Amino acid sequence: MNKQTIIYENYPWTTPLIENIVWIGVYILGFTLFSLFNIWAALIYLVYSIVCMYLLIPGFVCTSCSYYGRTCHSGQGRISALFFPKRDTNLFSSYFKYMRLAAPVFLAPLIAGIILFFFHFSPELVILTIAFGITALWCTRIVTLKHGCPHCNQQSVCPGCQKIEA
């Protein structure tokens, strides 16, 4: 039997809830890792994470997405419509490059944890760094690939989705 995937015009509310719970886990683990180094670094990381994921990405990427003003897999389509004017949806793939702004959210604590290994090695640090790496680099990807991308109506123009298929 051939199983057909449903394309959502509005995702069920549980999808952005799950994705944002995973993101909050990333922020908490990243904050904790940075706090082992310096509380100011931890606060800067937390502020950057929140601003990046809930303002910068919605402002640069989501304004040209077809889910602008609607419930997408991350919920950022609705956030985008609250703060920013809509852009031409034909430009989505060119604005998608701004997703790179999120890289520090998912990589900086991992790098900090590895650097801390050399100065303050402990089993707890190893566990925390591994937990962050799994949550940031694996769990976020799995949630997006299982709950987001397969149901997205922008698969044909999304650079992220095209990298998955390649």
- Condensed to tens digits (0 to 9), the pLDDT of residues 3-26 reads 678 999 999 999 999 999 999 999
Q: Which of the pair, 55 or 155, is modelled with greater confidence? A: 55
pLDDT in the model for residue 1? 39
Average pLDDT over residues 89-116: 93
Average pLDDT over residues 42-63: 97
The closest alpha carbon to 4, from 102, 159, 151, 154, belongs to: 151
User: The whole model's pTM is what?
Assistant: 0.89
C-alpha 64: how far from chain center:
17
- Condensed to tens digits (0 to 9), the pLDDT of residues 125-134 reads 999 999 999 9
pLDDT in the model for residue 76? 96
All structural domains of the chain with their residue ranges: 14-160
Q: Which residues are CB-contacts of 20 (< 8 A; sequence separation ≥ 6)?
A: 74, 75
The answer to whether 148 and 15 have CB atoms below 8 angstroms apart is yes
The answer to whether 57 and 48 have CB atoms below 8 angstroms apart is no
Q: Decide: residue 150, CB within 10 A, 0-12 exposed, 13-18 middle, 19+ buried.
A: middle
Has residue 32 got a pLDDT over 50?
yes
pLDDT in the model for residue 120? 85
